[in-house]
Each structure stands twice: as structure tokens, then as C-alpha cells.
């Protein structure tokens, strides 16, 4: 991976509320350095090089510090986000810079020798957490050798703010901070197009803070994602708004559930398609009148006048269509008596 883009542009695409530099990268090639996992996909493997890491596992656990290759590739609770920094600034509320200098690979940074990287004043970027587990983003503007902070000052400042663990991320001349879609930092580089102004550098990775995402992100096209939860449109339900809603009981054997409710087969009607068409009507929604001679009923599905009916309906048809029975004439008898 060697594509580079300005933090502001990447933050726009990622709909980030806040964004800043992520991992280190080769300034000549743009290649990411160290481990990198983005949205559950491992983009780069550090091949065992030891540097401070920041990651988020699938269960939401924040991880700061050193990881073995087995830790990085853990499948039981895998990383969904992981980035390599350089220097573990604070470990359990204590400044950990000297130990980091001894333990870490300095090839992951290109400022110079490790001691200079730590001691020089420059723009800096860091990430950490407090005792409540809240994520802390840190950025300070600067220009290498002229203004900014060295890592000792960054560590002391974060410790004073109650940060428990923190690692140093890519800073220096490319250090950029974006808030609510706007550049909120002062770049150190002069713009190529007009040296009077300063422009941010393009980088390889960012740390992006965004609203919780829904799965799927578009709520299946039938809802709106709000704080990680799909608010479904009328007629749809489910965590991803992918299930049609029909009034109970369901549509049974004579209908299909649709966004607007039960769509009944021809010859049936009602909320759950359980009512047959009344005599004299047929078709979808029983919306057509039979056209049979002598007021004969028709097939409720097709409208055919050659319908044969069974059961109670057959009896009701015969009761309604048979001519009335004429009683026989009355007979009288007489007897004569003398």
C-alpha cells in the first residue's frame, strides 16, 4: 500500500468527525511501515519488528503497547483496527520513553537516530486512553527544530491530563488534524503552488473517529443509520432493515408479504388473505364482478362461469339458485251420512 492523500480528503471520504495522522510511512515510497489492520483487513504485517501499537479488537477492547505476531493474528478476538507507532509514551501512567528506546525498532521512523527523534521539537501526534477507557487524540502544531514539543514534553503533558497509556504516531512535517471536515491545524510545509501559504502533506494512513456504523451501512436501502442503529422505514424491520413487516397472523397460504402488507392471491382478500371472495366477485382483491348468465356465480380466481363449488358454498349456491318448491294442491274429502 503506497497511496497517499491529505488527511482532510481521507476524512471526508470516511465521514470522520475527527481525524489525524496514523502510522508511519516511507517518505519516498509512501509505503506503510509497521502493522496495519483497517476495518478487519490486514493491510500490512510488520514481520515481527517491535514497535508500540494501538488497536481495537472485535469486542471493542482498546490495546496499547507491544504485540507478538501471535497477538496480531489472533482469530478468537481479532483486531478490526491496528496501527504501529514509534515510542510507548505512557505505560500505566508512567513515562516509558527510555524503555521504548531500548526495546523498539528505530527503522520505522526517518527523522534520524532514535535519540534525535525523541528529543527534537516538532509537530507531534499521539493517541491514548484515560482511566475511564475514553480514547484521547493528541495533536500539536510545529516545525522540526523550530517549534512544537519533544516526546518527553508530550508524555508529561498527557500524564498531567490523566492519560494512562499513550503511543506516539506519525507527526513532524506531515502532522495534520481535521475536525468536522475542516483543517484544524497549521501545516509546516509551504505550498508548491504559492509559497506564501502552507499546505498539508499527503500521508498513507489516518486515525478516524466517526459515528458508529450500521451493518449494512445503508440499512439495506430501507432505513437511516443513527448512532450505529438502523431506523427503519415503515414496512421494514430487523437490525439491517431487511425484513418485511406484515400484520399478524402472516399472509398464510394465499398471499405474499410485501412492503405494503399482504398481497393476496386472486380469489382471496383480507389483512392476512384468509377471506375468500364473496359470491359474485373474483380476481385480485375480489375487485371484479362475475359476468355469468342468470346470476350464476363464477370461479373466484379466474371468473369462469363453469365453476364447480364444494362444501358449504355449494349448499348456499343451491339454496340461493334453486327455484322454490311448489307445494302439492290441497286434497279434501267428504263423507255423506244419512
HSE of 29 in the Cβ direction (CA atoms, 13 Å)? 9
What is residue 129's predicted lDDT score, i.e. its pLDDT? 98
Between 151 and 47, the more confident residue is 151
Using CA of residue 240, residue 242, residue 248, residue 253, what is the dihedral sign? negative
pLDDT in tens, 18-31: 999 999 888 788 78
What is residue 332's predicted lDDT score, i.e. its pLDDT? 45
* Average pLDDT in the chain: 86
Contact 118, 97 (CB under 8 A): yes
What is residue 314's predicted lDDT score, i.e. its pLDDT? 47
Confidence of residue 327 (pLDDT cuts 50, 70, 90): low
Q: Which residues have CB under 8 Å from 125's CB, separation 6+? A: 20, 21, 138, 139, 168, 169, 170, 171, 175, 177
Per-domain residue ranges for the chain? 7-209
What is residue 271's predicted lDDT score, i.e. its pLDDT? 82
pLDDT in tens, 216-268: 889 999 999 988 899 998 878 899 998 888 765 678 889 888 877 788 999 99
Amino acid at each position: 500500500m503506497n497511496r497517499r492523500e491529505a488527511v482532510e480528503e481521507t476524512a471526508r471520504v470516511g465521514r470522520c468527525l475527527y481525524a489525524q495522522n496514523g502510522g508511519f510511512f516511507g517518505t519516498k515510497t509512501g509505503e506503510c511501515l509497521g502493522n496495519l489492520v483497517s476495518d478487519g483487513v490486514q493491510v500490512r504485517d510488520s514481520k515481527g519488528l517491535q514497535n508500540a501499537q494501538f488497536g481495537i479488537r472485535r469486542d471493542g477492547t482498546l490495546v496499547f503497547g507491544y504485540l507478538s505476531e501471535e497477538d496480531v493474528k489472533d482469530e478468537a478476538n481479532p483486531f478490526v483496527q491496528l496501527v504501529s507507532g514509534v515510542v510507548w509514551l505512557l505505560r500505566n501512567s508512567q513515562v516509558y520513553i527510555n524503555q521504548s528506546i531500548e526495546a523498539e525498532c528505530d527503522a520505522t521512523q526517518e527523522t534520524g537516530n532514535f535519540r534525535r527523534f525523541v528529543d527534537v521539537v516538532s509537530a507531534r501526534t499521539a493517541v491514548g486512553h484515560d482511566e475511564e477507557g475514553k480514547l484521547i487524540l493528541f495533536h500539536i502544531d510545529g516545525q522540526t527544530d523550530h517549534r512544537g514539543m519533544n516526546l518527553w514534553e508530550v508524555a508529561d503533558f498527557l500524564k498531567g491530563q490523566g492519560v494512562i497509556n499513550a503511543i506516539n504516531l506519525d507527526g513532524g512535517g506531515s502532522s495534520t488534524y481535521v475536525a468536522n471536515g475542516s483543517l484544524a491545524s497549521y501545516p509546516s510545509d509551504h505550498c508548491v503552488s504559492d509559497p506564501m501559504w502552507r499546505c498539508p502533506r499527503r500521508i498513507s494512513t489516518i486515525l478516524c473517529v466517526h459515528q458508529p456504523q450500521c451493518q449494512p451501512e445503508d440499512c439495506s436501502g430501507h432505513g437511516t443509520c443513527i448512532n450505529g442503529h438502523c431506523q427503519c422505514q415503515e414496512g421494514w424491520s430487523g437490525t439491517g432493515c431487511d425484513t418485511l413487516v406484515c400484520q399478524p397472523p402472516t399472509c398464510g397460504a394465499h398471499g405474499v408479504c410485501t412492503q405494503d402488507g399482504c398481497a393476496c392471491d386472486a380469489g382471496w382478500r383480507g389483512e392476512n388473505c384468509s377471506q375468500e371472495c364473496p359470491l359474485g366477485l373474483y380476481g385480485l382483491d375480489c375487485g371484479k364482478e362475475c359476468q355469468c348468465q342468470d346470476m350464476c356465480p363464477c370461479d373466484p380466481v379466474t371468473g369462469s362461469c363453469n365453476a364447480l363449488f364444494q362444501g358449504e358454498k355449494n349448499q348456499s349456491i343451491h339454496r340461493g339458485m334453486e327455484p322454490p318448491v311448489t307445494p302439492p294442491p290441497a286434497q279434501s274429502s267428504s263423507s255423506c251420512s244419512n
